[in-house]
A and B are shown apart, each in its own frame.
Chain A
Amino acid sequence: MADPVLRLHGVSKIYPGPPEVRALDGIDLSVQQGELLAVIGPSGSGKSTLLHIMGALDRVTSGTVEIESVDVARLSDRALSGLRSHKIGFIFQDFFLINGLDATANVAEGLVYRGMRRRERRERAQAALERVGLGHRLGHRPNQLSGGERQRVAIARALVGDPTIVFADEPTGNLDSHTSEEIAELFTALNDEGATLVVITHERELAERFPRIVELRDGQIVGDHAS
Chain B
Amino acid sequence: MRSRLRLGDLFGLGLRGLAARPARAVLTAIGIAIGIAAIVAVIGISASGRADLIATLDRLGTNLLRVTPGGGVLGTGSEVPEEARVMAARIGPVESVTQTTRVDATVRRNDLIGELETGGIGVLASRTDLLGELGGSVREGRFLDEAAIRGPAVVLGSVAAQRLGIRDLDPRPRVYMDGTWFTVIGILEPLELHPDVERAVLIGYPVAEKLYDTTESPSTLYVRAEPDFLNDVAEVIPATVNPQSPDAVEVTRPSDALQARRAADEALTNLLIGLGAVALLVAGVAIANIMVMSVLERRTEIGVRRALGATKRHIRIQFLFESVLLSGIGGIVGTALGAGITVAYAANRDLTLAVPPPGIALSIGAALVVGALAGLYPAWRAARIPPAEAVRK
Contact = CB atoms under 8 A, between A and B. Distances in A.
Contacts of A78: 2-3, 311-313
Interface string B5-24: 11011000100100110000
A24 to B, nearest CB: 12
B102 interface: no
Contact of B306 (A49, A81, A82, A112): A81
A98 B16 CA distance: 10
A118 B9 contact: yes
A59 to B, nearest CB: 9
Nearest to B311: A81
Contact of A77 (B2, B308, B312): B312
Interface stretch (B63-71, B220-228, B322-330, B385-393): B385-393
B211 interface: no
A151 to B, nearest CB: 14
Given A57-B307, A100-B16, A81 B391 contact: no
B388 A96 contact: no
Contacts of B314: 81, 113
Contact of A86 (B304, B309, B387, B388): B309
Given A57-B387, A57-B391, A115 B309 contact: no
Interface residues of A, number: 37
Contacts of A118: 8-9
Interface string B284-315: 00000000000000001101111111111110
Interface stretch (A32-40, A87-95, A142-150, A187-195): A87-95
Contacts of B304: 90, 92, 96
B4 interface: yes
B159 to A, nearest CB: 69
Contacts of B13: 112
B391 A96 contact: yes
B3 A113 contact: yes
B321 to A, nearest CB: 14
Given A55-B307, A77-B311, A113-B310, A82 B301 contact: no
A220 interface: no
Interface residues of B, number: 32
Given A83-B1, A113-B308, A114-B3, A48 B301 contact: no
Interface in B217-256: none
A101 to B, nearest CB: 8
A58 B2 contact: no
B309 A113 contact: yes
B388 A113 contact: no
Binding site of B, secondary structure by majority: helix, strand, loop or mixed?
Answer: helix
A52 B388 contact: yes
Contacts of A83: 1
Interface string A70-114: 000000011101111111101011101011110000000110111
B386 A85 contact: no
A55 B308 CA distance: 11
A93 B9 CA distance: 27
B20 A100 contact: yes
Contacts of B307: 55, 57, 84, 88, 90
Contacts of A113: 3-5, 305, 308-311, 314
A70 B362 CA distance: 51
Given A58-B388, A114-B4, A115-B5, A93 B309 contact: no
B68 to A, nearest CB: 79
Given A57-B306, A57-B388, A100-B19, A112 B1 contact: no
Nearest to B314: A113
A81 B309 CA distance: 5
Contacts of B9: 112, 118
A112 B308 contact: yes
28 contacts: A48-B393, A49-B388, A52-B391, A57-B306, A57-B391, A58-B387, A77-B312, A78-B311, A78-B313, A79-B2, A81-B306, A82-B3, A85-B309, A86-B309, A87-B1, A88-B307, A92-B304, A96-B301, A99-B20, A113-B3, A113-B309, A113-B311, A113-B314, A114-B4, A115-B3, A115-B6, A118-B9, A157-B308
Interface of A: 48-49, 52, 55, 57-58, 77-79, 81-88, 90, 92-94, 96, 98-101, 109-110, 112-115, 117-118, 157, 169-170
